[in-house]
Chains A and B, each alone.
Chain A
């Protein structure tokens, strides 16, 4: 009784947090569209390294650019590309996994060995090598991340499909003469949405971190693009005199990663099968 009460309390807490996050995001969107008055790459050397003021709520950087503007527009880059990478990874991995799992036998073995080959190197290293090979730039970084991440979805989906495929309702659908594509799309896919959503929301944080860290070492977004990781890198020489320059983009990354993890936890609880039974 008590545990279920504290559970529901925790669920509510998470809900409030999530709604709060949504409100913040909406607020930011409104702010960037209505209030924002600075050019993120406008260089004004007379106003360099200013402390926080009404004019510049988070101060200015070493080239006199408004930090708040850059962080807010950077969210489009960091979070936007993060989402895009995630979407592409899901769009490749899910059909791949469904197909391999549903076909089974030799097709499954071949496809999954391909996936294993992708999995056998650590994410970050592969991403660094690929974006190094393709040349620095956020588009190439995107490609590298998709190549690294889609395998997780393929594997997750396949493992679920392999279990579901053996159940009678799939056999029944085959017996009823439905096409394999229809079975995969209408009878198998809805089972997977929950799992994929949970993994995706947990992955979003990791992808954002990856984008930022690769941009930090100069492989992702190139200056003057206001990517958070790149901003951290640019602020590095001024760390001792103006530490805020590193703190704000850092905070932005932490916040986004934290919320995407919370979202993942929340969704995982929501789709928890055990809870349905109880």
Chain B
């Protein structure tokens, strides 16, 4: 069942089209990975879904979600959707937090915006969410710069999934993490996805991050989708030469290797 369907989405700045007339669907509860190198327009695509493009970029086309076109939704309605139904996590975990606010304040502010709860209940909810992503509740009173990258990325996952959104858009969330930490974060994401049943739109430039978790893969190159399909089909029988190149570029990763990581991680 299709949750979000993107039809003929184009994103352009004043000079040229950066994303050219792409169409795809995000199914309910699936893990869809968009793969492509830097500049292929994958991040912009994900930003356009939440109306997060900068003031100099324009999106045209249709992104339909529950009968609404997300591209043309009035700001007020969009704001109500963000965080509750559609949420994001980013690559830059350090920059995702306002530096002079504690982690707790981020939770407080977020919950206060969307729910009518007392301060204590909000705190309790935040601490539970922190526990869910494998962190100590004490983190609540810390500042972002006191935490490590892996911890911060877990906090952003906790925040993103706090209100059980329908779709989580993860824009290269593991790119800035070391391989063991990113492996753990991916596992956590998959576990939470199964618990909460949200769809994940996973943006990455690295097929290795996709191999174990994605259901479907979508390959982008220079603003166009060159290939999309089930994971096995794309990985085992790539049709487009660019997909073949991508797979070759990340070839050293085999199953035993991930097992090795697991062992080391233990």
Contact = CB atoms under 8 A, between A and B. Distances in A.
Nearest to B109: A178
A108 to B, nearest CB: 8
Select the residue from A167, A168, A186, A187 with max chain B CB neighbours within 10 A: A168
Given A104-B55, A177-B84, A179-B79, A172 B109 contact: no
Contact of B114 (A106, A171, A177): A177
B97 A169 contact: yes
B56 interface: yes
Contact of A168 (B84, B95, B101): B95
B98 A173 contact: yes
Interface in A172-212: 172-179, 182, 186-187, 190
Contact of B52 (A105, A106, A108, A175): A175
Contacts of B199: none
A105 B84 contact: no
B90 A172 contact: yes
A271 to B, nearest CB: 13
Contacts, number: 66
A227 B168 CA distance: 65
Given A104-B55, A166-B54, A168-B90, A176 B96 contact: no
Contacts of B87: 175
Nearest to A188: B98
Contacts of A171: 52, 88, 90
B92 A105 contact: no
Given A174-B52, A175-B52, A190 B113 contact: no
B9 interface: no
A103 interface: yes
A97 to B, nearest CB: 16
A108 B54 CA distance: 13
Interface residues of A, number: 22
Nearest to A172: B96
A169 B114 contact: no
A171 B98 CA distance: 10
B90 A177 contact: no
Contacts of A167: 92, 95
A176 B159 contact: yes
Contacts of A174: 52, 79, 82
Contacts of A168: 90, 92, 95-96
Given A103-B55, A105-B56, A166-B54, A172 B82 contact: no
Nearest to A183: B98
B83 A105 contact: no
A103 B113 CA distance: 21
B39 to A, nearest CB: 17
Given A167-B95, A171-B90, A173-B98, A186 B55 contact: no
A176 B55 contact: no
A175 B109 contact: no
Given A177-B82, A178-B109, A172 B56 contact: no
B99 interface: yes
B88 to A, nearest CB: 5
B85 to A, nearest CB: 10
B57 to A, nearest CB: 10
The 8 closest A-B pairs by CB, nearest first: A105-B55, A104-B55, A168-B95, A177-B83, A176-B110, A176-B83, A168-B96, A169-B98
Interface of B: 50, 52, 54-56, 79-80, 82-84, 87-88, 90, 92, 95-101, 106, 109-110, 113-114, 156, 159
10 contacts: A166-B54, A167-B95, A168-B92, A169-B97, A171-B90, A172-B90, A172-B97, A175-B52, A175-B87, A178-B113
